[in-house]
Homo-oligomer: A and B are copies of this chain.
Amino acid sequence: MSDVMPTSELPSRRSFLRTGTLAAVALPAAVGAITACNPDLAARQPTVPDDHAPGHDAAPAAAGPKTARERADEMDRHHEAGIKAFPAKTEGKGNQPLAPKMVGGVKVFELTCSEVQWETKPGKRVKAWAYNGQVPGPQIRVREGDRVRVLVKNELPESTAVHFHGLEVPNDQDGVPFITQPPIKPGESYTYEFTVPNAGSHMYHSHHNAAVQVGNGLLGAFIVEPRDRSGEPKVDVDYTMILNDGVHDFTLNGKDFPATEPVVCKKGETVRVRFMNEGMMIHPMHLHGMHMTVIAKDGWPQPMPWKCDTLNIAPGERWDVLIKANNPGTWAFHCHILSHAEAPQGMFGMVTVLVVQDATTA
């Protein structure tokens, strides 16, 4: 990985915290970024021939048949409104770091499963089954070799169980009802405990009536930092992006554009994106303006990193990529199954942006 500097300390933890910091300031910055990064946007108007002069639609009839131009303007207003609303504020934010309690050298995480109302975009509230009220559930981040205990309380009307997808735990901690444990009945609690066996970008989710329960929101990231960090890339931003396509429509980290979250960095920085697909469809994620270097699959390093701008992510897969943010601006970043990203009314669903702030303007 010639374009990534060697690591000499614990950058992921540091950048992870930093990401949290960025998230707090990024939203207004990103709004500004979209309209401000091209300050001459208004100046670069398309050429207008006489028969399409702006005056043509200066006073459109309020009713009656519309001209093509009037219909185009109306469509464009919808598109513009979506972009200008981004990143739209909604209630609730998923994938937030979950701090463990330390109990006798064990990192203890508590997860409560319950039904909540989840706002996926402004004004759209849907029923969700959530861990700790978040969709995706809170992000668990530990280190290879840590002793971990996960206390699960089930406040749902159905039984459930938690599978640690990608972690090579002992069989009796695998979370599959009637194969490795009894189901966790409504109102009951259950405890998982294991020594974290393998590093990488993993997930936790329901493994009981899972097509329904994971679709409803019972899923989250379980990220394991390696004990030996000598092979880890040095990154400035470490971003986890969980894709879903269930009853909550097409979402990135539980939100539907324009309520998705921008990924924000400075020019020259390296961004690590950990893609995770918790849905039932493929999502080929396309980044504009820069390529992505694929470094890991399901938490395992790829033997030879390779480059792309569109990465096909199938259900259950995790892919880690690095982005060398050398091209300043606000860049669309979306699923390239276009019907998951744009309608005649404008962009929606699996769309966000990567904002690369120029040092001179930031």
Contact = CB atoms under 8 A, between A and B. Distances in A.
Interface of A: 34, 37-38, 40-42, 44-49, 51-52, 68-69, 71-73, 75-76, 79-80, 83-84, 154, 157-159, 163, 165-166, 168-172, 174, 176-191, 198, 207-212, 214-215, 280-282, 284, 286, 288-291, 297-300, 302-310, 312, 314-318, 327-332, 336-339, 341-344, 353
A47 to B, nearest CB: 4
- With most chain B CB atoms within 10 A of its CB, the pick from A49, A71, A298 is A298
A265 B208 CA distance: 26
- With most chain B CB atoms within 10 A of its CB, the pick from A46, A207, A280, A297 is A46
Nearest to A57: B185
B69 A185 contact: yes
Contact of A289 (B69, B174, B310, B344): B174
A41 B173 CA distance: 11
B336 A188 contact: no
18 contacts: A41-B172, A41-B181, A45-B182, A48-B185, A49-B187, A52-B187, A72-B185, A79-B178, A79-B209, A83-B178, A166-B309, A171-B327, A174-B332, A179-B330, A209-B343, A280-B339, A303-B305, A312-B312
Contact of A314 (B76, B198, B310, B329): B310
Contacts of A186: 52, 68-69, 72
A27 B171 CA distance: 20
A282 B314 contact: yes
- The complex is assembled from copies of this chain, and their number is 3
A141 to B, nearest CB: 19
A232 to B, nearest CB: 17
A46 B184 contact: yes
A182 B41 contact: yes
Nearest to A293: B300
Given A185-B46, A282-B314, A327 B291 contact: no
A208 B76 CA distance: 9
A172 B38 contact: yes
Contact of A83 (B46, B179, B190, B211): B179
Contact of A187 (B44, B48, B291): B48
A176 B310 contact: no
10 interchain residue pairs of minimum CB distance: A171-B329, A316-B336, A52-B187, A300-B307, A312-B314, A211-B338, A303-B304, A83-B178, A310-B316, A68-B157
Contacts of A304: 303-304
A333 to B, nearest CB: 11
Contact of A338 (B172, B280, B288, B308): B280
Contacts of A310: 298, 314-318
Given A171-B289, A210-B338, A190 B47 contact: yes
Given A38-B180, A76-B185, A79-B208, 10 more contacts: A37-B171, A40-B172, A46-B189, A72-B158, A79-B177, A79-B178, A171-B330, A179-B353, A298-B308, A300-B307
Contacts of A75: 158-159, 209
A180 B35 CA distance: 8
Contacts of A343: 209, 211
A288 B210 CA distance: 15
Contacts of A290: 168
